[in-house]
Structure 1
Amino acid sequence: MIRKQILRYTSNQRTNHWLVAILFLMAGLSGLALFHPALFWLSNLFGGGPWTRILHPFMGVLMFVFFFGLVLSFWRANIFIANDRLWLRRIDRVMKNEEEGVPAIGKYNPGQKLLFWTLLLCMLVLLFSGLVIWRAYFSAYFGITSIRWAMLLHALAGFVLILSIIVHIYAGIWIKGSVSAMLHGWVSRAWAKKHHELWYREVTRDERPDPPLNRKG
């Protein structure tokens, strides 16, 4: 009997993902509270200004630790392959949900892969710049110029990270079944074959070749 569904994410991966999401929300809100006086009211969510300053770096470090767990799980699946370049060239067809002429892809499409590496870069910049400006422990070891540059990089990486997460959430909602996969772990065989055919073939051992791509357009 053929199982009708395919496991996309294990329970550990899903738990890890949602822990990162919760910590991102907390670190993001506390960071915004410290970023500008107009947003300082957000510090009330964490017990006031002093507690926000204390908790923010610890939440950031913890977020990176859990995110690194996701990196260890998913980095191989996010390596670019030959089909990805053609997929990006035909992104207009993907946006229109037109499958003809769009090459088969693996577990993640090129857009997801770009997002993955962008998130990793932002997390690394946030981690190291955050250590430089962490007054309680590390900032005394750096000069004022280094601290100022670190603050600028920290704010810039945080801004890019927030925009990237917004794109991530939008894409997850736009592609029906993606959110459910991260909640329950399973996707239908039809969903897997439609959106990630190379991955579908890998996990089902279906070696049937694709029909030739339409080279017109």
Structure 2
Amino acid sequence: MADREYSESSDRIIATEPVEVRRYAAHTRINHWFTAILIILLILSGFALFWPRLFFLTGIFGGGQNARFLHPIFGVVACLSFLLLFLQLWKLNLMRREDVVWASKITDLLAGHEERLPELGKYNLGQKLVFWGMFWLLLTMVASGLMIWQQFFPDLVSIPVRRWALLVHSIAAVLSVLVIIVHVYAAIWTRGTISAMTSGNVTGGWAWRHHRKWLREVARRQDSPPAE
């Protein structure tokens, strides 16, 4: 079997009509949606505790005391869940030369002239930035969150450090929400992306148009030519 540079071992071309390509295995999809649900719960509980006007959202969790107890637990579990995705996908999200070319042609992308874009692996630059952005923001929120988690770590840091940690935690949380908004918008804008994370498959045409290097590698591993 050829070495994998742009694909996972579970990626494969499916002989259907029209041709489909397996993009995400079941465990990847389950992990993704599990992490997404946890992050939504984190956002709701975090905003409810941070902004008094949103305190009513604590009712979702059975009140303010429950929300305060559950919020850090959601954070730890979400970080561990994302860590599994990170260990699985980090190599595919490393920056490459074609990403620089892709960024220089962003106007062609926005204008719908994707034929002018370079061939890409499994992920484009935007997806990679979301991936790495969430990785570093989650690490920041976990580290700062431990410093302000008084229930279990009351004496971990001094009060002045805890205040700074709360500020850093809040900024990272707002930035992560912005990253998630970009992620969701891009997934909706690029038709076929959301269904790929629900069914696991994309059409051969979609793969050829958006991630041609990935498709070529999958086809080469199966000793079959990629179909447009």
| TM-score, normalisation: structure 1 | 0.92
C-alpha separation in 1, matches of 2:205 and 2:218: 13
C-alpha separation in 2, matches of 1:196 and 1:118: 21
Per the alignment, residue 166 of structure 1 pairs with 181
Amino acid at match of 1:46: F
Provide structure 1 residue ranges, at least 5 long, that are not aligned to the other structure.
209-217
C-alpha separation in 2, matches of 1:55 and 1:22: 14
What secondary structure does 1:107 align onto? coil
Question: What count of residue pairs does the alignment treat as equivalent?
Answer: 208
With over 3 angstroms needed to count, the CA separation of the structure-2 counterparts of 1:2 and 1:116, relative to structure 1, is closer
C-alpha separation in 1, matches of 2:91 and 2:196: 19
Per the alignment, residue 68 of structure 2 pairs with 53
C-alpha separation in 2, matches of 1:156 and 1:84: 28
C-alpha separation in 1, matches of 2:210 and 2:203: 11
- Report matched runs for 1:99-138 at 5 Å: 99-138=114-153
Question: Structure 1 residue 138: deviation in Å?
Answer: 1.3
Tell me which stretches of 4 or more aligned residues in structure 1 moved more than 3 Å: none
Asked if structure 2 preserves the Cα contact closer than 8 Å seen for 1:126 and 1:154, the reply is: yes
- Which region of structure 1 is more displaced relative to structure 2, 102-111 or 136-145? 136-145
Amino acid at match of 2:141: L
| TM-score, normalisation: structure 2 | 0.88
With over 3 angstroms needed to count, the CA separation of the structure-2 counterparts of 1:2 and 1:51, relative to structure 1, is closer
The C-alpha deviation readout for 1:8-62, integer Å capped at 9, x for no partner, is 0000000000000110111110000111111111101100011111011001100
Question: Structure 1 residue 72: deviation in Å?
Answer: 1.1
Q: Is 1:38 aligned to residue 39 of structure 2?
A: no
- Which region of structure 1 is more displaced relative to structure 2, 153-162 or 137-146? 137-146
Question: Structure 1 residue 207: deviation in Å?
Answer: 9.8
Asked if structure 1 preserves the Cα contact closer than 8 Å seen for 2:21 and 2:204, the reply is: yes
What secondary structure does 1:187 align onto? strand
- Report matched runs for 1:142-153 at 5 Å: 142-153=157-168
- Report matched runs for 1:1-217 at 5 Å: 3=15, 4-205=19-220
With over 3 angstroms needed to count, the CA separation of the structure-2 counterparts of 1:62 and 1:157, relative to structure 1, is same
Question: Structure 1 residue 113: deviation in Å?
Answer: 0.6
Question: Structure 1 residue 99: deviation in Å?
Answer: 2.2
The C-alpha deviation readout for 1:120-162, integer Å capped at 9, x for no partner, is 0100001100000001111322101110111001000100001
Per the alignment, residue 4 of structure 2 pairs with none
Asked if structure 2 preserves the Cα contact closer than 8 Å seen for 1:139 and 1:147, the reply is: no
- Identical residues among aligned pairs (%): 43
C-alpha separation in 1, matches of 2:224 and 2:129: 27
Question: Structure 1 residue 2: deviation in Å?
Answer: 6.7
C-alpha separation in 2, matches of 1:17 and 1:154: 23
